[in-house]
Chains A and B, each alone.
Chain A
Amino acid sequence: SAVISQKPSRDICQRGTSLTIQCQVDSQVTMMFWYRQQPGQSLTLIATANQGSEATYESGFVIDKFPISRPNLTFSTLTVSNMSPEDSSIYLCSGQGAGNTGELFFGEGSRLTVL
């Protein structure tokens, strides 16, 4: 299975600030995604991180709020901008391998609390 590393693992932030989450994957991953998991809920796809180009955002998520970069095949960042308490969530980086079974691998998640 692919190895996905995320940092920070958790953070407490002040309202109005921004936080960047980093994700490093191994070479088995081709597609990279960012998910949000709000307390007690399932996963919601934020965007697909595209290598060398703008991310593809899902409905309800915009680049100004969640800028994403993927400068190379194995690294991506997600920034949560101008944070409010409603942004308190777990943010998960995930990767999909080149095989056709679609299996997703996940990082440990970044637990963000906004005060």
Chain B
Amino acid sequence: AQSVTQLGSHVSVSEGALVLLRCNYSSSVPPYLFWYVQYPNQGLQLLLKYTSAATLVKGINGFEAEFKKSETSFHLTKPSAHMSDAAEYFCAVFSPTGNQFYFGTGTSLTVIP
């Protein structure tokens, strides 16, 4: 079975600082990996996805993530945090063989002015 682990349920960064949200997965086959963002009182919006092409994936709003097979990680980064980045972020794994989607427990990002 697949699993997704997000280290740190709450992350605080200063405005302008680097954002790093961690995600590790367990998978016996190469998965598809996703990051979603949920702003207050909204649904989930896709930030970026990895589907076995380039290992460094660029998404919306300046976010990017790097797939590292050896570390089974898919950490999300942004060079400079903006106040509008404050939200809940979810890492997710999709298993094509079972057509199952697995979500991490989420990381709440706070940006300090």
Contact = CB atoms under 8 A, between A and B. Distances in A.
Tell me the dominant secondary structure on chain B's binding face: strand
A43 B43 CA distance: 11
Nearest to B34: A103
Interface residues of A, number: 22
A108 B42 contact: yes
Interface size class of B (residues with CB under 8 A): 20 to 34
Contacts of B96: 100, 102
B32 A42 contact: no
B99 A108 contact: no
A42 B103 contact: yes
B106 A42 contact: yes
Interface of A: 1, 4, 6, 31, 33, 41-43, 45, 92, 94, 100-109, 111
